[in-house]
Amino acid sequence: MSMLKTMLRESKVPQDVVINALTYIIDAEIDEIIPEYNEREGFTYGEFTRLAVRYNLTEEDIFEELERLGVLKPEKYKKIIRCPQCGSSRLLSQLACPQCGSTDVNRITLVSHVSCGYTGVLEDMASDEGFICKKCKKPLGKEGTDYLKIGSLFRCESCASRFDAPHPHYECLGCNYSFGHREADYHTLNKYEVNKDKLKDYVEEIILGKIYDELVAEGYKIERNAKIKGQSGLDHTTNIIVRKDHDFVLIDTIVDTENITSDILTVFGKHVDLGSPKHIVIVPSKTASLIAFRVGSSNIKLVVFDVVSEAIYKTKEAVKELLETIS
Ligand SMILES: [Zn+2]
Ligand SMILES: [Zn+2]
Ligand SMILES: [Zn+2]
């Protein structure tokens, strides 16, 4: 039983979702997952959000699973406000009166007219001829000499109360719900770092798992992690053996770039010891050139891939080709 399969058994989300998410991370060579804001959807995690929606899950459900598998490491990214009704982060930001709740709030400036001593609201004194004092009806004059700024505060145009700090207020652009800071949903958005080492462990399992499922669906007889005895008497383990009538094909992968030299020796040594059977070796295009020139047998077929789906498709084609031909 493989490590990934065992881990997936305890998964709280469907296994397909986890495999799809992992495949996407592998194929798109993602190092970091960062939420992005757009006008239509608010904050989203791109492909992961689409995947979550398709399965009626949240992105967090998927990320939690990937965390459990050791593939993602979360880090706090932003604290955001969401609509308590529909969860949208597309909000119109407003200020509200702490007394009556109206959002018809203005910032006002208190000034004092030096010549007459009147203190009032600067904005209320605006006219076509500039600022005119409410008390002496003369122009306010120059700031700093003729009149002084005392401070600024807020005024509710609905109930006329004045206050230092208005309350934040939001209108949801998704469902039109209107709410204040007491009702708002405070949500922590994470970003995630991909653990490439851990991911590498799963690449082989994902590829082999999918190949296994698809070949079984097509009616082939298949063994995973099969042991076969070589001419030397040694037992060799091969990832997959596909059988049809009395013919068979071995399938192996060389995807771990760190142990590539020893993996090449193992796979090609096994090939020779087994008497050069039909043998498919799956390799990523990045390392294909390191492997290709070592292929010493015409019975070895290299399947070179850039994305996981390509590895699966090409392997299936190769199996069909090798098992249809009489050797
Ligand atoms: Zn008010
Ligand atoms: Zn005045
Ligand atoms: Zn809403």
Using a CB cutoff of 5 Å, list residues around ligand 3, an ion.
83, 85-86, 88, 172, 174-175, 177
CA 158 / ligand 3 centre spacing (Å): 26
CA dist 15 and 5 (Å) reads: 9
Whether 101 shows a pLDDT value over 80: the answer reads yes
**pLDDT more than 90, % of the chain:** 76
Write out pLDDT tens, residues 10-43: 888 998 899 999 999 999 989 999 999 999 999 9
Using pLDDT thresholds of 50, 70 and 90, give the confidence band for residue 125.
Answer: very high
Using a CB cutoff of 5 Å, list residues around ligand 2, an ion.
113, 116, 118, 133, 135-136
* Nearest ligand to residue 119 Cα: 2
Write out pLDDT tens, residues 185-241: 999 999 999 998 888 888 888 999 889 999 999 889 999 988 999 999 999 999 999
* The pLDDT value given to residue 327: 47
CA 303 / ligand 1 centre spacing (Å): 72
**pLDDT (mean) for 274-278:** 93
* The pLDDT value given to residue 204: 87
Q: What is the mean pLDDT of the chain?
A: 92
Domains for the chain: give ranges and CATH numbers: 3-79+187-194 (1.10.10), 98-165 (no CATH), 198-324 (3.40.1350)
**pLDDT (mean) for 67-86:** 96
CA dist 36 and 244 (Å) reads: 50
CA 65 / ligand 3 centre spacing (Å): 27
**pLDDT (mean) for 110-123:** 96
